[in-house]
Amino acid sequence: MKKLDFYIPTKIIYGKGRIKEFGETLDKKFKNIMIVSGKTSYKKSGAYEKISAQLKDREVILFDKVNENPDFETLLRGAELARNRKAELIIGIGGGSPMDAAKGIALLATNDGNMKDYMRGKEIKKNPLPVVCIPTTSGTGSEVTPYAVFTDSDTKDKGGYANPSIFPVFSIIDPELTYSMPDDVLINTGLDALTHALEAYLSTKATPLNDLISIHAIEIIMGNLKDSLKREKEAMDRLSYASMIAGMAIANAGTLLLHAAGYPLTVYHQIPHGRANAILLPAFIEFMKEKSEVKAKVELLEGIFKEHGGIREFINYFGISTKLSENGISEDEINTFVEKTIVKKNLKITPARISKKDLFKFYKDTF
């Protein structure tokens, strides 16, 4: 056996209705609590009422200014508020964007400078404030990862920050909070979770233990995403569970070329993150089949896809075209996309040699 590492320090509280355990789980020593959320989903999901009722004896600071794909400016504003109001703990509620923003704000509340510097390798001097995550979508997995993804609106760069110090201390994954997700969010986040599990499975950092989690997640997502769209609650509960475990899988094995290649689609064309990954997923599987050192794993995945009618068909079912030309992208943009993608760390843990030429062909083949 090869050596193995596995690390998830986040306490996981999963189950319907378990949001009511939030107040009793939160250590009494925290008096000033900052809530980081988007503008609407926090209230729409019902989380707002359920959580405020449990925070009556504490000071609550609300920062509900997080947009999709949070930028550095938002983090600075949030961190300033956290410092001014002496926040001791940050709660991220919503999808990936508010949860990631909560992590960034927690870091900048105790450390100087801009998130951009830390993403370029600057060391943190002090521990970030503790973070708690409460997802209201089933996709990102941020509730169990040491990652946060941010967008530099000036350079049009989207990228991830990784540091074990931003793992949430605990996360409540209450599937009832996901029931109000609009259809497009349900589809995009569900497909994001699918790609997390797939990429973690193929990663050079994969281990037999992590593979069990990844395959378990893939089977649940492919078997329940269509029924979730029909608002079948049991299927939605399973999806919520699967996206969490897919998060555990990437916490240990990371995301690969597919995530890196999807970022420019989001930055330049505002295509939601999970949808961007889904558009490129069949091409990624083809690429891995041709170029990777893990062909047996790709074949195993293809076996699972076959049981669900094929991966391209599965994605098309949700009204998503897997052709870039049908998603508003022109061939002249390939060079820019290649330049943005080739520098990403995700490529280092993708089990294939990837040159600029390969990457150009990868994009080109999706037209």
User: By the criterion CB under 5 A, which residues form the site for Fe ion?
Assistant: 192
Compute the least distance from the CB of residue 142 to Fe ion, in Å: 9
The C-alpha atoms of residue 64 and residue 35 are separated, in whole angstroms, by: 8
Compute the least distance from the CB of residue 41 to Fe ion, in Å: 17
Count the helices and strands in the chain (H runs, E runs).
Answer: 15, 8
Compute the least distance from the CB of residue 113 to Fe ion, in Å: 26
Which pair of structure tokens corresponds to residue 306?
Answer: 């076959």
Nearer to Fe ion by Cβ, of 175 and 274: the residue is 274
Which pair of structure tokens corresponds to residue 60?
Answer: 């609550």
> Coil, strand, or helix at residue 209?
helix
The single-letter DSSP state of residue 71 is B
Nearer to Fe ion by Cβ, of 130 and 272: the residue is 272
Compute the least distance from the CB of residue 195 to Fe ion, in Å: 6
Compute the least distance from the CB of residue 179 to Fe ion, in Å: 22
Residue 155 phi/psi, 5° resolution? -95, 0
Which pair of structure tokens corresponds to residue 202?
Answer: 């193929």
DSSP 280-311: HHHHHHHHHHHH-S-HHHHHHHHHHHHHTT-H
CA angle 287, 293, 296 (to 5 degrees): 85
Nearer to Fe ion by Cβ, of 71 and 192: the residue is 192
The C-alpha atoms of residue 33 and residue 49 are separated, in whole angstroms, by: 16
Nearer to Fe ion by Cβ, of 262 and 351: the residue is 262
Compute the least distance from the CB of residue 118 to Fe ion, in Å: 20
Q: Kindly list the distances between the CA atom of residue 261 and the CA atoms of 159, 171, 235, in Å, as whole numbers in the listed order.
A: 11, 29, 30
What per-residue string of b and e applies to 301-314 under the rule 16 or more CB within 10 Å gives b? beeebeebeebbeb
Compute the least distance from the CB of residue 263 to Fe ion, in Å: 10
Residue 151 phi/psi, 5° resolution? -120, 130
**Do 161 and 118 touch, CB atoms closer than 8 A?**
yes
Nearer to Fe ion by Cβ, of 107 and 193: the residue is 193
Residue 284 phi/psi, 5° resolution? -65, -45
Nearer to Fe ion by Cβ, of 143 and 192: the residue is 192
Q: Kindly list the distances between the CA atom of residue 113 and the CA atoms of 10, 15, 94, in Å, as whole numbers in the listed order.
A: 27, 38, 26
Compute the least distance from the CB of residue 260 to Fe ion, in Å: 11
Compute the least distance from the CB of residue 165 to Fe ion, in Å: 21
Compute the least distance from the CB of residue 140 to Fe ion, in Å: 6
Nearer to Fe ion by Cβ, of 130 and 160: the residue is 160
Instruction: Write the Ramachandran bin of 17: left for phi over 0, alpha for psi from -120 to 50, otherwise beta.
Output: left
**Do 61 and 32 touch, CB atoms closer than 8 A?**
yes
Provide CB contacts within 8 A for 323, sequence distance 6+.
279, 366, 367
